[in-house]
Structure 1
Amino acid sequence: MEILASRVLFRPADYERSLAFYRDDVGLAVAREYGSGTVFYAGQSLIELAGHGRPSAGAPPFPGALWLQVRDVYATQAELEHRGVAIARAAAEEPWGLHEMHVEDPDGVTLIFVQVPETHPLRRDPRN
Protein backbone atom coordinates (compact mmCIF):
# COMPACT_ATOMS: atom_id res chain seq x y z
CA MET A 1 0.00 0.00 0.00
CA GLU A 2 1.19 3.51 -0.81
CA ILE A 3 -0.21 6.42 1.23
CA LEU A 4 -0.16 9.59 -0.85
CA ALA A 5 -1.54 12.06 1.69
CA SER A 6 -3.33 12.21 5.01
CA ARG A 7 -5.19 14.62 7.24
CA VAL A 8 -7.40 14.63 10.32
CA LEU A 9 -11.10 14.94 9.42
CA PHE A 10 -13.66 16.30 11.88
CA ARG A 11 -17.41 16.45 11.43
CA PRO A 12 -18.26 19.05 14.06
CA ALA A 13 -21.68 19.40 15.66
CA ASP A 14 -21.71 23.08 14.66
CA TYR A 15 -19.57 23.69 11.55
CA GLU A 16 -19.65 27.52 11.74
CA ARG A 17 -18.66 27.53 15.41
CA SER A 18 -15.74 25.15 14.77
CA LEU A 19 -14.71 27.08 11.66
CA ALA A 20 -14.47 30.28 13.71
CA PHE A 21 -12.52 28.46 16.44
CA TYR A 22 -9.84 26.96 14.18
CA ARG A 23 -9.62 29.93 11.78
CA ASP A 24 -10.10 32.93 14.09
CA ASP A 25 -9.39 31.77 17.64
CA VAL A 26 -6.50 29.37 17.01
CA GLY A 27 -5.42 31.24 13.88
CA LEU A 28 -4.76 28.35 11.50
CA ALA A 29 -4.24 29.30 7.86
CA VAL A 30 -6.79 28.02 5.35
CA ALA A 31 -5.29 25.59 2.83
CA ARG A 32 -8.50 25.41 0.79
CA GLU A 33 -12.22 25.73 1.05
CA TYR A 34 -14.82 23.70 -0.78
CA GLY A 35 -18.58 23.96 -0.84
CA SER A 36 -19.18 22.38 2.53
CA GLY A 37 -15.82 22.26 4.23
CA THR A 38 -12.52 23.92 5.05
CA VAL A 39 -9.01 22.46 5.19
CA PHE A 40 -6.39 24.11 7.41
CA TYR A 41 -2.62 23.92 7.42
CA ALA A 42 -1.29 22.40 10.63
CA GLY A 43 2.48 22.15 10.24
CA GLN A 44 3.24 19.10 8.12
CA SER A 45 -0.37 17.95 8.37
CA LEU A 46 -3.83 19.18 7.51
CA ILE A 47 -7.02 19.49 9.55
CA GLU A 48 -10.31 19.33 7.66
CA LEU A 49 -13.66 20.48 9.02
CA ALA A 50 -16.48 18.90 7.05
CA GLY A 51 -19.78 20.73 7.07
CA HIS A 52 -21.42 17.64 5.61
CA GLY A 53 -22.05 14.24 7.19
CA ARG A 54 -22.86 15.32 10.73
CA PRO A 55 -21.64 13.05 13.53
CA SER A 56 -23.96 10.17 14.34
CA ALA A 57 -26.20 10.53 17.36
CA GLY A 58 -24.48 8.90 20.30
CA ALA A 59 -21.15 8.70 18.45
CA PRO A 60 -18.20 8.36 20.84
CA PRO A 61 -16.05 11.44 21.37
CA PHE A 62 -12.80 11.83 19.44
CA PRO A 63 -10.57 9.20 21.09
CA GLY A 64 -7.33 11.18 21.07
CA ALA A 65 -5.93 14.67 20.81
CA LEU A 66 -4.23 16.89 18.25
CA TRP A 67 -0.51 17.38 18.95
CA LEU A 68 0.57 20.74 17.55
CA GLN A 69 4.24 21.71 17.89
CA VAL A 70 4.96 25.44 18.27
CA ARG A 71 8.20 27.40 18.73
CA ASP A 72 7.15 29.01 22.04
CA VAL A 73 4.21 27.53 23.93
CA TYR A 74 4.15 30.40 26.44
CA ALA A 75 3.83 33.00 23.66
CA THR A 76 1.18 30.79 22.03
CA GLN A 77 -0.77 30.70 25.29
CA ALA A 78 -0.62 34.50 25.57
CA GLU A 79 -1.78 34.86 21.95
CA LEU A 80 -4.72 32.48 22.46
CA GLU A 81 -5.72 34.17 25.73
CA HIS A 82 -5.62 37.53 23.93
CA ARG A 83 -8.07 36.08 21.37
CA GLY A 84 -10.37 34.94 24.18
CA VAL A 85 -9.60 31.21 23.94
CA ALA A 86 -10.08 29.34 27.21
CA ILE A 87 -6.93 27.51 28.29
CA ALA A 88 -7.85 24.06 29.63
CA ARG A 89 -4.37 23.46 31.06
CA ALA A 90 -1.74 26.21 31.29
CA ALA A 91 1.67 25.88 29.69
CA ALA A 92 4.13 24.01 31.89
CA GLU A 93 7.16 21.78 31.63
CA GLU A 94 6.16 18.12 31.80
CA PRO A 95 8.17 15.38 33.56
CA TRP A 96 9.14 14.06 30.09
CA GLY A 97 10.79 17.39 29.23
CA LEU A 98 8.29 18.90 26.79
CA HIS A 99 6.46 22.14 27.52
CA GLU A 100 2.72 21.65 26.91
CA MET A 101 -0.52 23.63 27.02
CA HIS A 102 -4.05 22.30 26.40
CA VAL A 103 -7.07 23.89 24.72
CA GLU A 104 -10.40 22.27 23.81
CA ASP A 105 -12.27 22.88 20.57
CA PRO A 106 -16.06 23.42 20.57
CA ASP A 107 -16.66 19.64 20.38
CA GLY A 108 -14.30 18.83 23.26
CA VAL A 109 -11.31 17.72 21.16
CA THR A 110 -8.09 18.46 23.05
CA LEU A 111 -5.43 20.44 21.22
CA ILE A 112 -2.04 19.93 22.85
CA PHE A 113 0.36 22.74 21.96
CA VAL A 114 3.93 21.51 22.47
CA GLN A 115 7.29 23.22 22.65
CA VAL A 116 10.29 20.92 22.22
CA PRO A 117 13.32 22.38 24.05
CA GLU A 118 16.69 22.43 22.27
CA THR A 119 18.09 19.78 24.64
CA HIS A 120 15.16 17.33 24.34
CA PRO A 121 15.82 13.90 22.73
CA LEU A 122 13.27 14.70 19.99
CA ARG A 123 15.78 17.28 18.75
CA ARG A 124 18.74 14.87 18.62
CA ASP A 125 19.86 13.20 15.43
CA PRO A 126 19.51 9.45 16.09
CA ARG A 127 22.18 8.70 13.47
CA ASN A 128 24.91 10.06 15.75
Structure 2
Amino acid sequence: MEILASRVLFRPKDYARSVAFYRDGIGLAIAREYSGGTVFYAGQSLIEIAGHGAPAEDAPPFPGALWLQVRDLAAAQEQLRQRGVEIAREARQEPWGLHEMHVTDPDGVTLIFVQVPEDHPIRRDTRG
Protein backbone atom coordinates (compact mmCIF):
# COMPACT_ATOMS: atom_id res chain seq x y z
CA MET A 1 0.00 0.00 0.00
CA GLU A 2 1.24 3.48 -0.84
CA ILE A 3 0.15 6.31 1.48
CA LEU A 4 -0.04 9.57 -0.47
CA ALA A 5 -0.95 11.94 2.36
CA SER A 6 -2.18 11.97 5.92
CA ARG A 7 -3.64 14.31 8.50
CA VAL A 8 -5.19 14.26 11.94
CA LEU A 9 -8.95 14.92 11.82
CA PHE A 10 -10.83 16.36 14.80
CA ARG A 11 -14.57 16.80 15.06
CA PRO A 12 -14.79 19.21 17.98
CA LYS A 13 -17.82 20.05 20.09
CA ASP A 14 -17.41 23.75 19.22
CA TYR A 15 -15.95 24.24 15.74
CA ALA A 16 -15.38 28.01 15.99
CA ARG A 17 -13.70 27.71 19.40
CA SER A 18 -11.32 25.01 18.13
CA VAL A 19 -10.46 26.90 14.95
CA ALA A 20 -9.68 29.99 17.04
CA PHE A 21 -7.51 27.90 19.40
CA TYR A 22 -5.38 26.36 16.63
CA ARG A 23 -5.26 29.53 14.49
CA ASP A 24 -4.95 32.30 17.09
CA GLY A 25 -3.79 30.50 20.23
CA ILE A 26 -1.29 28.04 18.80
CA GLY A 27 -0.62 30.18 15.72
CA LEU A 28 -0.87 27.53 13.01
CA ALA A 29 -1.15 28.70 9.41
CA ILE A 30 -4.21 27.72 7.42
CA ALA A 31 -3.50 25.31 4.58
CA ARG A 32 -7.06 25.18 3.27
CA GLU A 33 -10.58 26.22 4.20
CA TYR A 34 -13.75 24.66 2.87
CA SER A 35 -17.39 24.90 3.82
CA GLY A 36 -17.47 23.16 7.15
CA GLY A 37 -13.76 22.75 7.81
CA THR A 38 -10.33 24.26 8.24
CA VAL A 39 -7.02 22.49 7.63
CA PHE A 40 -3.85 23.75 9.33
CA TYR A 41 -0.19 23.19 8.56
CA ALA A 42 1.57 21.40 11.41
CA GLY A 43 5.15 20.83 10.27
CA GLN A 44 5.18 17.85 7.93
CA SER A 45 1.59 17.03 8.83
CA LEU A 46 -1.84 18.60 8.71
CA ILE A 47 -4.51 19.09 11.38
CA GLU A 48 -8.07 19.30 10.12
CA ILE A 49 -10.84 20.80 12.26
CA ALA A 50 -14.15 19.60 10.81
CA GLY A 51 -17.35 21.46 11.51
CA HIS A 52 -19.39 18.65 9.97
CA GLY A 53 -20.06 15.19 11.36
CA ALA A 54 -19.82 16.40 14.96
CA PRO A 55 -19.08 13.67 17.52
CA ALA A 56 -21.83 12.09 19.55
CA GLU A 57 -22.33 13.69 22.96
CA ASP A 58 -21.02 10.53 24.62
CA ALA A 59 -18.01 10.15 22.29
CA PRO A 60 -14.82 9.31 24.19
CA PRO A 61 -12.05 11.91 24.19
CA PHE A 62 -9.15 11.61 21.78
CA PRO A 63 -7.04 8.89 23.43
CA GLY A 64 -3.66 10.05 22.16
CA ALA A 65 -1.70 13.27 21.92
CA LEU A 66 -0.24 15.44 19.18
CA TRP A 67 3.57 15.65 19.20
CA LEU A 68 4.67 19.02 17.83
CA GLN A 69 8.42 19.64 17.51
CA VAL A 70 9.66 23.22 17.89
CA ARG A 71 13.13 24.77 17.62
CA ASP A 72 13.01 26.68 20.93
CA LEU A 73 10.64 25.38 23.61
CA ALA A 74 11.13 28.30 26.00
CA ALA A 75 10.27 30.76 23.23
CA ALA A 76 7.23 28.68 22.21
CA GLN A 77 6.00 28.58 25.80
CA GLU A 78 6.34 32.36 26.15
CA GLN A 79 4.61 32.93 22.81
CA LEU A 80 1.67 30.74 23.82
CA ARG A 81 1.38 32.55 27.17
CA GLN A 82 1.32 35.91 25.38
CA ARG A 83 -1.55 34.61 23.23
CA GLY A 84 -3.49 33.61 26.34
CA VAL A 85 -3.01 29.85 25.97
CA GLU A 86 -2.93 28.04 29.31
CA ILE A 87 0.12 25.83 29.81
CA ALA A 88 -1.02 22.50 31.28
CA ARG A 89 2.53 21.41 32.14
CA GLU A 90 5.56 23.69 32.09
CA ALA A 91 8.53 23.02 29.85
CA ARG A 92 11.05 20.61 31.37
CA GLN A 93 13.58 18.00 30.39
CA GLU A 94 12.21 14.46 30.51
CA PRO A 95 14.18 11.41 31.72
CA TRP A 96 14.44 10.29 28.06
CA GLY A 97 16.25 13.55 27.20
CA LEU A 98 13.62 15.51 25.29
CA HIS A 99 12.39 18.90 26.48
CA GLU A 100 8.57 18.87 26.60
CA MET A 101 5.66 21.16 27.47
CA HIS A 102 1.95 20.26 27.45
CA VAL A 103 -1.06 22.28 26.35
CA THR A 104 -4.66 21.06 26.20
CA ASP A 105 -7.01 22.04 23.37
CA PRO A 106 -10.69 22.98 23.98
CA ASP A 107 -11.79 19.34 23.65
CA GLY A 108 -9.14 17.93 25.97
CA VAL A 109 -6.60 16.84 23.34
CA THR A 110 -3.06 17.01 24.71
CA LEU A 111 -0.53 18.86 22.56
CA ILE A 112 3.05 17.95 23.47
CA PHE A 113 5.49 20.60 22.31
CA VAL A 114 8.97 19.07 22.04
CA GLN A 115 12.48 20.42 21.60
CA VAL A 116 15.12 17.84 20.67
CA PRO A 117 18.50 18.75 22.22
CA GLU A 118 21.59 18.77 19.99
CA ASP A 119 23.05 15.68 21.70
CA HIS A 120 19.85 13.58 21.70
CA PRO A 121 19.94 10.18 19.88
CA ILE A 122 17.13 11.33 17.56
CA ARG A 123 19.66 13.71 16.00
CA ARG A 124 22.36 11.11 15.43
CA ASP A 125 23.14 9.90 11.95
CA THR A 126 22.92 6.12 12.20
CA ARG A 127 23.92 5.43 8.60
CA GLY A 128 27.44 4.58 9.76
TM-score (norm 2): 0.99
Q: How does 1:1-128 map to 2 (within 5 A)?
A: 1-128=1-128
Could you tell me how far 1:76 is from its partner in structure 2? 0.2
**5+ residue gaps in structure 1?**
none
Residue 62 of structure 1 aligns with an amino acid whose one-letter code is F
**5+ residue gaps in structure 2?**
none
**Cα distance in 2 between the residues matched to 1:39 and 1:73:** 24
TM-score (norm 1): 0.99
**Cα distance in 2 between the residues matched to 1:55 and 1:38:** 17
Count of paired positions: 128
Query: 4+ residue stretches of structure 1 with deviation over 6 A?
Result: none
Could you tell me how far 1:57 is from its partner in structure 2? 2.2
Could you tell me how far 1:45 is from its partner in structure 2? 0.2
Q: Deviations over 1:30-60 (max 9, x none)?
A: 0010011000000000000000000112111
Could you tell me how far 1:25 is from its partner in structure 2? 0.5
Identity of aligned residues (%): 77
Residue 22 of structure 1 aligns with an amino acid whose one-letter code is Y
How big is the alpha-carbon RMSD for the aligned residues of Structure 1 and Structure 2? 0.5
**Cα distance in 2 between the residues matched to 1:59 and 1:6:** 23
**Cα distance in 2 between the residues matched to 1:77 and 1:7:** 24
